[in-house]
Structure 1
C-alpha cells in the first residue's frame, strides 16, 4: 500500500482553502504530501496552511490568481525555491456564477459576460495553472495533474449551461493534455480528472439548502437521482485524487473518475 502514499511530494492545490479544495489539501497532507495552498486571498490561504501544520502536516500558502499566468509563474518560482520541485497539481479553483444560472428564465436571457465569466472561472483557471506548473513538472519528466470535472459535463443539468460547457471542456482538455505530455515527455507525466457528484459548498448552498437547513426542491431531486441517497462529503474526494497523484496510478492517464454516489450510473427509472 506504500504506492498510495505521497510522502515528501510537493502538491499544489489551487482554490486550496475552499470547501472541496480545502478538503483535498487536508487529505493529501495526511497522506504525506507537502501542500501548497494557492489562492487569491492571503488570509484564507494562510489559515488553511496553518490548519494543516497544526494537524502535523507540511504546508505553505502562496497567493496567486489562477487566471493570471504571470502571478502563477511567480508562484511556481516561489514553490521551487522553497521546496525544490513540483510533483503534482490539483486544479481545485472553480465554481458557478449566479448571473449565469438560468433556472427561472430562458437560456436566451443569460448575459454573455456572465457566460464568459463562468468559462474563465472553470476552464481557463484549469488550463492556465496546468501550463505553468505542468512545465515545471515536464522539465523533470515526472508529475501528475488532477483536474476537477463535474456531473454537469456528462449530461444536461438544468440551469447551468455555462458551467456545464466549461466542465465538458475540462474533460477534453484532460484527455488532450494527457496524450500530448506523455508523447512529448514520457510516461512519467500524467493528467487525469475526477468528476464529483453533488457536494454542498459555499457557492451552491443557497440553491440546495433552505434557511432552516432543510433541502430545497432541487436538492431533493438530486438526492432522488443519487442511488446512495445523499450528498457527498468533501473528504470523500480525497481517495480518488490521492490515487491519481500517487505511484499506484503510474499507468493511468487521460481518464475522468466519477465520485458521485452512483448518480452517473442511474437512469432515474
Structure 2
C-alpha cells in the first residue's frame, strides 16, 4: 500500500482549472501545482491570465495557459481537444468558473438569470464533457466541480445563483453515475463564505460581516488557501473510491442553526 505522502502526490498529472486568473481558481491552481501537478490556467482575459501565470512562475512553477470562454460549447471543446492533441493529456479538471448577481427575485433581470445559467452550470457540462471524452479512453481522470454553500442553503437576493449551485451538485452526481465505471472520480467542493472578488460587496459590508461571524461556528470568513487541501485530496489517489460527493468547506455554517 502506498505511503501517505504518495497518496496525495499529484506529480505527473496535468490539471486544467477554469476561471483561474484570480480568487478561488487561482488559489486552487497554486495548491495543485504545490502538490506536484502541472497546471493549466483558464480565463477569457488574456492579460489577467498571463499575470496569474507569471505569479506562479515567480514561485517556481511552470503553468500553461488556455484562454477560452467556458460558456461557448464549441470553444471549450476545441481548446481541450487541441491541448490534448498538441501537448498531452488533461488528467484533472477543476470546474471553477462562476459569477454572481444580486437582486430580489421578483425584479431579477432575465438576461442576468441566463448569464448565471451559462456561466455557473452550462460551463460545467461543456468542460466536463470535453475533458471526460479523453479521460474515458485512458481509463482514469479526476473532475472537481466548485459548488457553494448555496448548494444547500438560500439567502435573499440570490435565488438564481442558488439554483445554479444546486444544479452543480446534481450534475456532479450524474457525472459520477455515468463515468465512475470508466475510472473517473467526479466530486464537488462547496465553499462557504470566502474573501474573494466575487464576494467583495459582502466583505465590504460591516453589517453582513457581523452577521456572518455570528452565523458561522468558526466565527470568520474563509481564506481561499483553506480550500486547497480538499481539492488536492479529491484529485489524488487518496480519494480513489470517493465519487459523486459534495464536500462542504464552510467553517461549519451548514452544520449549525
Fold in common (TM above 0.5): yes
TM-score computed with the length of structure 2 as normaliser: 0.94
Structure 2 unaligned blocks of 5 or more:
none
Q: Deviations over 1:199-235 (max 9, x none)?
A: 121122123314xxxxx21222122111110111111
More moved, 17-26 vs 201-210: 201-210
* Aligned-partner Cα distance in 2 for 1:147–1:173: 9
Aligned counterpart in structure 1 of residue 57 of structure 2, from 53, 58, 81: 53
* Aligned-partner Cα distance in 2 for 1:63–1:109: 34
Aligned counterpart in structure 2 of residue 33 of structure 1, from 12, 22, 37: 37
Superposed, 1:185-224 pairs within 5 Å as: 185=182, 188-210=183-205, 216-224=206-214
The Cα shift of 1:73 comes to 2.0
- 3-state DSSP of counterpart to 2:139: coil
Task: Report the equivalent of 1:14.
Answer: 18
TM-score computed with the length of structure 1 as normaliser: 0.90
The Cα shift of 1:82 comes to 4.6
The Cα shift of 1:86 comes to 1.1
Are 1:165 and 2:158 matched, yes or no? no
Aligned counterpart in structure 2 of residue 248 of structure 1, from 206, 215, 238: 238
- 3-state DSSP of counterpart to 1:22: helix
Supply the RMSD in Å over aligned alpha carbons: 1.3
Does the 8 Å contact 2:77/2:126 carry over to 1? no
Equivalent residue pairs, number: 253
Tell me: CA distance 1:56–1:81, structure 2 relative to 1, closer, same or farther (3 Å): farther
The Cα shift of 1:44 comes to 1.3
Structure 1 unaligned blocks of 5 or more:
211-215
Task: Report the equivalent of 1:96.
Answer: 100
